[in-house]
């Protein structure tokens, strides 16, 4: 197909009608600025050529002028091998479609509406999508020959049936066997319902259905088999339980018989045991009786012996009691006498003590009195010393507080002053005055800072030294000022002044007028301090143990009080007072020596008295014990006599007779017992336990039987329940269905695989065949690309789908298409499109549309491309849309959009 | 004298998986045969019908089947029926078919021999029964007959009834209830009725042990089945007179069609099919195709047979044929459809990869013509290509059988034919 003209109404920016064309058969250049409507015009033409007039997609709405709901109308005049046509379509609002053909100089309507759309498809070999607007892949050959704006490197591929295959066949001169292609499609049609493209069974297909059926049947069979397995288990359990029940019942019967025998034996043995017990009881009774009689006899003998002993004991006790009473009387008499003598002795001793105490007290009084006197004297001394210390302290306080260090400083300053004065004098003014008459002058400054009036004797020279200035006042004469100009003198004078000032300041601070005074003050202070030290030592010795004089006074007062107290207490007589210290001491010694002997004698007396008392108590106790013993013996005697009487009363015939009778009874009972014992069977004592064990065994077996019966019955129930479900028949039905399902599955699978393999093998061979003829096409494209780029060394490589896969010197070292620059891609596809267009043009004129492509191509290559396009324009209609008119000056037919 | 029918191995409810859901038809046919056999017994006026085991295929057959069988027995109340549990339906306990309600309440003419016992058949004839209680055993079930028979009068007719394999050397399994070959004479029996094997076997132990076989064939190889034994014993010690009565309902037939001789095969088959046509509803038929032929020939014969087999109760077509091209056909194919020729060569290669025996393309050998050597294939399919191709469809090469490749070739040709049509 080639285009002749395009008319637009209400399309894009064209609210009114515009026309593009007429298009020349060869190269056409439609250049206009961006957004001028170039591309939308061609897009609108595509809609008119390929879309149904009733399409209402966004692509159609995009044709409407912005902000309006105007119905776009597009008219395209085109030509195919079958003639020249004009399609007129209105979209969206009241859509229409009219197809006309040029006949006899007029446009004759040949189809309208849907028919027109259908005729267009047939004319252009285009297709329609399921819904919505068409896309380039539906546009027949034009889909391959139109490099759209923004998509210059997009190549639809040639796999699709119809147009794609037609182009393939043209490009590679491959004579595709239509029968084989049809065979391939038919095989695909058979495969598709069975298998997916990945070889899985297709849902809803015969294979999947058979597989699902099989799975379902297998699941049911598994469940059935599980039930059968339960049945088998139940059968095993039933058989085992039945066998066990039989075995246990047999054992139960055997054990029951044995238990019965054992029970009989046990009963017989029990009876014999009873008899034996009776005899044993009788034997025991006889033995007890015999023992009792023997014991009584023995006891009687003992009692009689005891009675005799008791009687003897009574006699002895009476004698002892009598002796004890006599002794007691004697002791009491002696004790009374001693107790009377005791107080007398004690009084004498006490008197002796009192004398000694008084004497000692008198001696203490004398001592206290002496002590108080001593302390008083000490107090006086201490007070004097304290007063003296205070005096020294007062004197010291009056002295200037001048430390030796300050004194040294004063001396230093004085020395410094002297030295400076000497210097100054050496340096300063020396004025000698020798008056003729006695006179008085006043010299300033004075040496000591006071106005100095000097009396001068006639003829005597008086030397005055001054540092710098000397101001003399001569009576009745006037004043004379003498100044020195020496700097050094000035300096020394300043220093001297400074030293003098410092000296005066320090003296003032120390509160002494002069240095001598300072020395004296320091010397006096030192002396006072030495005196203080000596007095402090004396004071301390006077205070003794006391810290202060007050304490000493207190001690003196205390001593005085003691003396007074003791005097008041003793009230010494005159005689006593007259006694001398020695006399008192002698008396005290005498008493002290005598007192211990007297005390010792009293103690001895007391000991003897205690012994008497003790003896008296002992004898008293003895007497009481004797009386008590006698009483006890009397009681014992009575008891013994009573026992003997009771004992002898129990045996009417006498104890010996009773003993003999008991011995005879015992012997007889023993004989009967032994006879009965001999009748018992061996192990008779184990029979009850054995009987019990047998009963327990029977019970156990009974329990086991019950349990196994229960198990058997349960298993039986299960068997009856499961056995009645007809599992085998159900399984049979399922197995037969499964066999059929397997056959269906295998058949479907085999069919699917067979058709799939056959299809794929055909495809494989087709591609192999295609590949065999690729080389010429590659060479052709390589030449075209070389012509475009000026580089003939690079080859173009294609794959079996006739897609450009890359360029390079070899296939192995090529640059993949995707990695090429945009310009290279555009150029490669231009070559391919040109090749396609050339081939198609052999059957029918073709248009190649290049919408704003080659924008990434440099100017040099652009020229080459134009050369190629110009050459191709002899065989093709080429329509170039561009916004770079400069690139296409002088090229082809200029097309404009006219309104 | 006593006359009785001796049968065994009915195996009612048996499975026929090889026929799919059509197996139900065969099971139904057995019940028809049973009904007819009972009618035959009544007609013969026998004193009893002895079932020597395996009346049922399994202890877990459905109740409906049991009830139908009991119903058939109940419909002839004058006929004394003795049922012995076999190894397929042993008296194994509560799960056994003999404990189904229908059999527990079976009519008076039906006697189920659940335990070993002696039954007075009347007329001084006694039945000694030794039923089976499990599926397998190394014990001879006829051993107890010695003791059982010892207590019977010497002049009584003694008929043994049990189930097991005759202890024929190399023909039985040790744990398959081996019955001594002299079991009847050993126990002093006049006749020992046994069951287990499915073919008629009458002359063991001097003719006193009879295995009647299954009354209804259950496979194509059972030529000697389909009978019951009509037995007559005049008196104690006399040799029994045994007659085989044919009772089978179904006829099992296996036919061949060899493409090597298409015309004769077809003629032969047509004749047999015509012969069997009247009894098609009672015929189990299998036709096996073999040999090689051209695609259209194969298609045509298959289509013909599919139609011809439809009327039969079970019509099974086993196709072992293979498609092949004549040299002329191959050459023509090469010219007209070179890609297809290559595809066929590729199929040959695939088959060889899959372990098939085809290294050259299959040819139709037409008598004295020498098969042409194969056309060399340019760019023969490599194993890698084959694996890639099959891998895309997740087809495992090792799973492809020669039958599959035959089908594959057939598919190609058939599709081609359809397309060309």
Within an 8 Å CB–CB cutoff, is residue A747 touching chain B? no
Mutating which of A199, A729, A734 best tests the B interface, going by the most B Cβ atoms within 10 A?
A: A729
Question: B351 phi and psi, to 5 degrees?
Answer: -65, -40
Number of Cβ within a 10 Å radius of residue A378 = 20
- Continuous segment of H or E residues that includes residue A558: helix A549-570
Using one digit for the tens of pLDDT, what is the confidence trace for B76-120?
Answer: 999 999 999 999 999 998 889 999 999 999 999 999 999 999 999
Dihedral of alpha carbons B255, B258, B259, B262, sign: negative
Range of the domain at B72: 2-246
Q: Quick check: B367 pLDDT over 50? A: no
Peptide bond into A22 cis (omega under 30): yes
Q: Where residue A348 falls among pLDDT bands split at 50, 70, 90?
A: confident
Please give the average per-residue pLDDT across B253-264, as a whole number. Answer: 90
Confidence class for position A170, pLDDT limits 50, 70, 90: low
Distance CA A185, CA B416 (A): 11
Q: Are strands B157-163 and B191-195 parallel, antiparallel or unpaired?
A: parallel
Between CA A690 and CA B346 the distance in angstroms is 94
Instruction: Give the pLDDT confidence score for residue A357 in this predicted structure.
Output: 92
Measure A167 CA to nearest chain B CA, in Å: 20
Helix (H) / strand (E) containing A274:
helix A206-398
How far is residue B116's CA from residue B128's CA, in Å, rounded to a whole number?
8
Measured distance CA(B130)–CA(B84) in Å, rounded: 8
Which among A186, A732, A754 is the nearest to B419, CB-wise? Answer: A186
Q: Are residues B217 and B287 in the same domain?
A: no
B296 and B332, same structural domain?
no
3-state secondary structure of B152: coil
CATH number at residue B111: 3.60.21.10
Q: Please state, rounded to an integer, the average pLDDT across all residues of chain A.
A: 88
Beta partners for residue A469, in sequence order = A483
Q: What percent of chain B has pLDDT over 90?
A: 63
The pLDDT value given to residue B373: 41
Is residue B129 within 8 A of residue B116, CB to CB? The reply is yes
In the three-class reduction of DSSP (H, G, I as helix; E, B as strand; rest coil), residue B129 is classed as strand
CA distances from A209 to A206, A348, A498, B20, B41 (A): 5, 152, 136, 17, 49
3-state secondary structure of A33: coil
Are the C-beta atoms of B284 and B26 separated by less than 8 Å? yes
B315 and B184 both lie in a single domain: no
**Radius of gyration in angstroms for the set of CA atoms belonging to chain A, rounded to a whole number:** 83
Would you state the pLDDT for residue A847?
Answer: 92
Substitution target from B135, B419, B420, B421 for chain A, most A beta carbons within 10 A: B419
DSSP-derived 3-state class of residue A34: coil
B100 and chain A in contact, CB less than 8 A: yes
What pLDDT is stored for residue A707 in this prediction? Answer: 95
Which of the four pLDDT bands, split at 50, 70 and 90, describes residue A603?
Answer: very high
Q: Enumerate the residues of chain A whose CB falls inside 8 A of the CB of residue B381.
A: 761, 764
Using a pLDDT cut of 70, give the percent of chain B over it: 94
Return the pLDDT at B21: 87
pLDDT class for A173, splitting at 50, 70, 90? low
Of all residues in chain A, the percent with pLDDT exceeding 90 is 45
Bridge partners of residue A675, in order along the sequence? none
**Does one domain contain both B299 and B407?**
no
Whether the Cβ atoms of residue A194 and residue A796 lie closer than 8 Å to each other: no
Comparing CB atoms, the residue among A739, A754, A760 nearest residue B18 is A739
Short-list B251, B218, B401, CA closest to B319: B401
The pLDDT value recorded for residue A898 is 77
Check A735 against B17: CB less than 8 A apart. Answer: yes
Residue A625 pLDDT > 60: yes
How many beta carbons lie within 10 A of that of residue A187, not counting itself?
25
Q: Which residues of B touch A736 (CB under 8 A)?
A: 15-17, 19-24
d(CA B311, CA A760): 39
Establish if B353 touches chain A: CB-CB under 8 angstroms.
Answer: no
Does B393 contact A757 at a Cβ distance shorter than 8 Å? Answer: yes
pLDDT band at A446 (very low <50, low <70, confident <90, very high): low
Tell me, yes or no, if B127 comes closer than 8 A to chain A by beta carbon.
no
Residues A732, B13: C-beta atoms closer than 8 Å? yes
Asked if residue B73 and residue B118 are part of one domain, the reply reads: yes
Enter the ipTM.
0.86
Instruction: Work out the number of other CB atoms within 10 angstroms of the CB of residue B249.
Output: 22
The last residue of a domain, from among B323, B356, B378 = B323
User: Is B390:B397 a contact under the CB 8 Å cutoff?
Assistant: yes
How many domains are contained in chain B? 3
Residue B372's pLDDT band, with cuts at 50, 70 and 90, is very low
| In a shared domain, residues B231 and B379 | no
Note the Cα B368 to chain centre separation in Å.
41
On whether both B284 and B207 belong to a single domain, the answer is: no
Cα A500–chain centre separation: 85
Nearest by Cα to B129 from B215, B210, B51: B51
**pLDDT class for A155, splitting at 50, 70, 90?**
low
The predicted pLDDT at position B82 comes to: 98
B210 phi-psi bin (left φ>0, alpha ψ -120 to 50, beta other): beta
Q: How far is residue B166's CA from residue B179's CA, in Å, rounded to a whole number? A: 5
Chain B touched by A723 (CB under 8 Å): yes
For residue A765, list chain B residues with Cβ-Cβ distance below 8 A.
Answer: 339, 342-343, 346
**pLDDT at residue A247 greater than cutoff 60:** yes
Distance CA A583, CA A577 (A): 11
CB contact (8 A) between residue B62 and residue A179: no
Q: What residue ranges in B33-188 does DSSP mark as E strands?
A: 48-51, 81-83, 110-112, 117-122, 125-130, 157-163, 165-166, 178-179
pLDDT digit string (tens) for A284-322? 999 999 999 999 999 999 999 999 999 999 999 889 888
Based on the fold, state whether residues B374 and B388 are members of the same structural domain.
yes
B369 has a pLDDT exceeding 60: no
The C-alpha atoms of residue A352 and residue A595 are separated, in whole angstroms, by 7
Q: Which residues face B363 on adjacent strands? A: B325
Residue B229 sits in the same domain as residue B269: no
Sign of dihedral through CA atoms A547, A550, A556, A560? negative
pLDDT above 50: residue B364: no
Instruction: Calculate mean pLDDT across residues A58-82.
Output: 91
Cα–Cα distance, A244 to A250 (Å, whole number): 10
Q: What is the pLDDT of residue A174?
A: 56
The secondary element (H helix, E strand) that includes residue A746 is: helix A727-772
Are B314 and B19 in contact by the 8 Å Cβ rule? The answer is yes
Burial profile B25-34: b = 16 or more Cβ within 10 angstroms, e = fewer: bbbebbbebb
Beta strand A469-474 pairing with A439-444: antiparallel
Contact flag A739-B20 (C-beta cutoff 8 Å):
yes
Q: Do B415 and A730 touch (CB under 8 A)?
A: no
Q: What is the pLDDT of residue A13?
A: 85
CB B37 within 8 A of CB B15: no
Closest by CA to A882, choosing from A2, A149, A46, A23, is A149
B292 with B416, same domain? no
**Neighbouring C-beta atoms of residue A784, cutoff 10 Å:** 21
How many CB pairs lie under 8 A apart between chains A and B?
173
Spatial contact of B12 and B55, defined as CB atoms under 8 Å apart: yes
A233 touches B: beta carbon within 8 Å? no
Residue that terminates a domain, selected from B323, B348, B375:
B323
Which neighbouring-strand residues pair with A81?
none
CA distance A212 to chain B (A): 17
Point out the least confidently predicted range of A120-124, A174-178, A431-435, B153-157: A174-178
Q: Is B244 on the interface with A (CB under 8 A)?
A: no
Nearest CA in chain A to B15: A732
Distance (Å) from the alpha carbon of B211 to chain A's nearest alpha carbon: 26
Contact between residue B274 and residue B60 where contact means Cβ atoms under 8 Å apart: no
CB contact under 8 A, B93 and A235: yes
The pTM (predicted TM-score) of the whole model is 0.54
Nearest Cα residue in chain B from A735: B17
Interfacial B residues in 372-401 facing A (CB < 8 Å): 379, 381, 385, 389-390, 392-395, 400
Instruction: Answer for the pair A210, A744: CB distance below 8 angstroms, yes or no.
Output: yes
Regarding whether B335 and B298 lie in a shared domain, the answer is no
Calpha distance A28→A213 (Å, rounded): 66
State the smallest CA–CA distance between residue A801 and chain B in angstroms.
17
> What distances in angstroms separate CA B370 from CA A622, B262, B324, B363, B373, one per listed residue?
167, 20, 14, 10, 9
Of A728, A737, A760, the CB nearest to B13: A728
Q: How far is CA A660 from CA A68, A289, A293, A670, B12, in A?
A: 160, 11, 9, 16, 105
pLDDT at A321: 86
Distance CA B113, CA B159 (A): 14
- From B194, B225, B246, the end of a domain falls on B246
> Would the pLDDT of A169 be above 80?
no
Do B175 and B78 belong to one domain?
Answer: yes
- Span B306-343, pLDDT tens digits: 999 999 999 999 988 888 887 888 788 778 788 888 89
Most confident option among A642-646, A877-881, B66-70? B66-70
Put simply, whether A714 touches B (Cβ < 8 Å) is no
């Amino acid at each position: 197909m080639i285009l002749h003209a395009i008319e637009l109404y209400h399309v894009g920016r064209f609210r009114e009608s515009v026309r593009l064309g007429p298009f020349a058969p060869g190269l056409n250049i439609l250049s206009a600025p961006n957004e001028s409507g170039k591309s939308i015009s061609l897009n609108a033409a595509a809609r008119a050529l390929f879309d149904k007039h009733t399409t209402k997609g966004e692509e159609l709405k995009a044709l409407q002028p912005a902000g309006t709901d105007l119905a776009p109308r597009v008219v395209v005049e085109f030509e195919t091998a079958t003639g020249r046509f004009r399609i007129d379509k209105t979209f969206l609002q009241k859509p229409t479609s009219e197809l006309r053909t040029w006949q006899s100089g007029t446009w004759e309507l040949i189809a309208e509406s849907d028919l027109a759309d259908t005729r267009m498809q047939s004319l252009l070999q285009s297709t329609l999508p399921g819904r919505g607007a068409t896309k380039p892949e539906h546009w027949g050959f034009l889909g391959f020959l139109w490099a759209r704006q923004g998509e210059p490197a997009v190549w639809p591929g040639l796999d699709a049936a119809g147009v794609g295959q037609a182009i393939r066949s043209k490009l590679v001169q491959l004579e595709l066997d239509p029968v084989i292609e049809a065979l391939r499609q038919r095989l695909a049609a058979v495969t598709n319902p069975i298998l997916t493209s990945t070889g899985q069974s297709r849902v809803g297909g015969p294979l999947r259905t058979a597989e699902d059926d099989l799975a379902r049947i297998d699941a049911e069979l598994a469940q059935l088999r599980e039930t059968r397995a339960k049945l088998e288990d139940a059968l095993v359990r039933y058989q085992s339980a039945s066998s066990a029940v039989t075995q246990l019942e047999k054992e139960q019967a055997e054990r029951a018989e044995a238990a019965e025998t054992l029970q009989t034996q046990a009963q017989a043995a029990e009876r014999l045991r009873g008899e034996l017990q009776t005899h044993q009881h009788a034997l025991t009774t006889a033995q007890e009786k015999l023992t009792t009689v023997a014991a009584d006899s023995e006891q009687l003998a003992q009692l009689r012996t005891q009675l005799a002993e008791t009687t003897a004991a009574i006699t002895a006790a009476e004698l002892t009691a009598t002796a004890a009473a006599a002794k007691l009387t004697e002791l009491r008499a002696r004790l009374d006498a001693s107790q009377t003598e005791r107080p007398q002795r004690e009084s004498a001793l006490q008197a002796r003590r009192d004398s000694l105490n008084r004497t000692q007290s008198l001696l203490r009084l004398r001592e206290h009195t002496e002590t108080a006197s001593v302390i008083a004297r000490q107090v006086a001394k201490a007070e004097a010393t304290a007063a003296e210390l205070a005096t020294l302290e007062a004197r010291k306080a009056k002295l200037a507080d001048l430390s030796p260090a300050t004194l040294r400083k004063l001396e230093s300053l004085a020395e410094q002053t002297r030295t400076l004065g000497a210097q100054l004098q050496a340096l300063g003014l020396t004025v000698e005055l020798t008056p003729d008459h006695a006179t008085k002058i006043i010299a300033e400054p004075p040496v000591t800072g006071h106005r100095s009036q000097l009396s001068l004797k006639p003829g005597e020279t008086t030397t005055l030294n001054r540092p710098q200035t000397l101001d003399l006042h001569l009576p009745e004469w006037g004043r004379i000022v003498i100044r020195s100009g020496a700097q050094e003198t000035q300096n020394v004078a300043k220093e001297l002044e400074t030293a003098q000032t410092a000296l005066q300041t320090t003296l003032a601070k120390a509160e002494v007028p002069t240095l001598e005074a300072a020395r004296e003050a320091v010397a006096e202070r030192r002396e006072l301090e030495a005196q203080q030290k000596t007095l402090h030592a004396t004071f301390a010795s006077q205070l003794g143990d006391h810290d202060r004089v007050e304490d000493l006074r207190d001690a003196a007062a205390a001593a005085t009080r003691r003396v007074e107290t003791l005097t008041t207490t003793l009230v010494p007589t005159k005689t006593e007072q007259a006694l001398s210290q020695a006399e008192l001491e002698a008396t005290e010694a005498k008493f002290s020596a005598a007192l211990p002997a007297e005390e010792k004698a009293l103690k001895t007396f007391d000991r003897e008295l205690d012994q008497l008392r003790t003896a008296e108590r002992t004898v008293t106790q003895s007497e009481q014990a004797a009386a008590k013993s006698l009483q006890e013996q009397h009681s014992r005697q009575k008891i013994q006599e009573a026992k003997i009487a009771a004992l002898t009363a129990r045996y009417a015939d006498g104890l010996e007779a009773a003993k003999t009778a008991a011995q005879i009874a015992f012997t007889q009972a023993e004989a009967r017992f032994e006879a009965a014992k001999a009748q018992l069977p061996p192990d008779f004592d184990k029979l009850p336990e054995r009987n019990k064990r047998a009963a327990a065994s029977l019970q156990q077996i009974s329990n086991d039987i019950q349990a196994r019966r229960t198990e058997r019955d349960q298993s039986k129930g299960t068997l009856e329940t499961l056995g009645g479900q007809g599992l085998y028949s159900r399984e049979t039905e399922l197995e037969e269905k499964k066999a059929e399902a397997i056959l269906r599955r295998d058949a479907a699978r085999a069919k699917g695989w067979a058709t799939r393999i056959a299809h794929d093998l055909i495809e494989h061979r087709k591609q192999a065949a295609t590949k065999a003829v690729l080389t010429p096409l590659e060479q052709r494209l390589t030449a075209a690309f070389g012509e475009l780029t000026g580089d003939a060394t690079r080859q173009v490589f294609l794959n079996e789908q006739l897609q450009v896969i890359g360029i390079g010197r070899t296939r192995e070292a090529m640059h993949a298409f995707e990695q090429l620059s945009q310009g290279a891609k555009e150029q490669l596809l231009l070559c391919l499109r040109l090749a396609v267009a050339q081939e198609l043009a052999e059957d029918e004129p073709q248009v190649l549309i290049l919408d704003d492509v080659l924008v990434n191509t440099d100017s040099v290559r652009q020229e080459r491309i134009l050369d190629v396009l110009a050459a191709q324009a002899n065989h093709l209609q080429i329509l170039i849309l561009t916004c770079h008119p400069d690139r296409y000056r002088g090229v082809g037919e200029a097309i404009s959009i006219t309104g | 004298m006593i006359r009785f029918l001796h049968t065994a191995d009915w195996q009612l409810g048996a499975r026929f998986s090889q026929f799919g859901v059509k197996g139900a038809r065969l099971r139904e046919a057995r019940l028809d045969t049973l009904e007819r056999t009972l009618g035959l017994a009544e007609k013969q006026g026998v004193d009893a019908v002895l079932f020597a085991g395996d009346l049922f295929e399994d202890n877990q057959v459905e109740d409906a089947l049991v009830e139908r069988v009991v119903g058939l027995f109940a419909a002839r109340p004058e006929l004394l029926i003795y049922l012995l549990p076999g190894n397929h339906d042993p008296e194994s306990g509560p799960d056994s078919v003999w404990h189904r309600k229908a059999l527990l309440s079976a009519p008076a003419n039906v006697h189920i021999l659940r335990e070993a016992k002696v039954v007075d058949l009347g007329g001084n004839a006694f039945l000694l029964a030794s039923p089976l209680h499990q599926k397998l055993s190394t014990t001879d079930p006829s051993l107890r007959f010695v003791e059982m028979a010892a207590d019977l009068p010497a002049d009584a007719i003694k008929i043994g009834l049990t189930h097991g394999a005759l202890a024929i050397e190399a023909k039985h399994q040790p744990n398959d209830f081996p019955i001594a070959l002299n079991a009847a004479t050993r126990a002093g029996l006049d006749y020992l009725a046994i069951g287990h094997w499915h073919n008629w076997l009458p002359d063991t132990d001097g003719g006193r042990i009879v295995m009647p076989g299954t009354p209804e064939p259950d496979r194509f190889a059972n030529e000697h089945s389909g009978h019951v034994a009509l037995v007559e014993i005049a008196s104690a010690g006399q040799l029994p007179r045994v007659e085989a009565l044919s009772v089978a309902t179904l006829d099992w037939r296996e036919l061949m069609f060899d493409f090597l001789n298409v015309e004769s095969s077809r003629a032969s088959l047509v004749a047999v099919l015509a012969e069997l046509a009247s009894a098609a509803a009672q015929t189990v038929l299998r036709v096996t195709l073999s040999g090689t032929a051209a695609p259209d020939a194969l298609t045509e014969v298959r289509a013909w047979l599919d139609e011809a087999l439809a009327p039969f109760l079970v019509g099974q077509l086993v196709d072992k044929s293979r498609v092949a091209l004549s040299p002329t056909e191959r050459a023509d194919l090469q010219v007209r459809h070179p890609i297809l020729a290559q595809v066929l060569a590729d199929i040959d290669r695939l088959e060889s990869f899959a372990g098939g025996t085809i290294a050259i393309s299959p040819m139709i050998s037409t008598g004295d013509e020498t098969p042409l050597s194969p056309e060399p294939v340019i760019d023969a399919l490599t194993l890698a290509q084959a694996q890639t191709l099959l891998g895309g469809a997740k087809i495992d090469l090792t799973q492809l059988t020669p039958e599959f490749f035959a089908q594959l070739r057939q598919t190609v040709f058939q599709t081609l034919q359809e397309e060309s049509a």
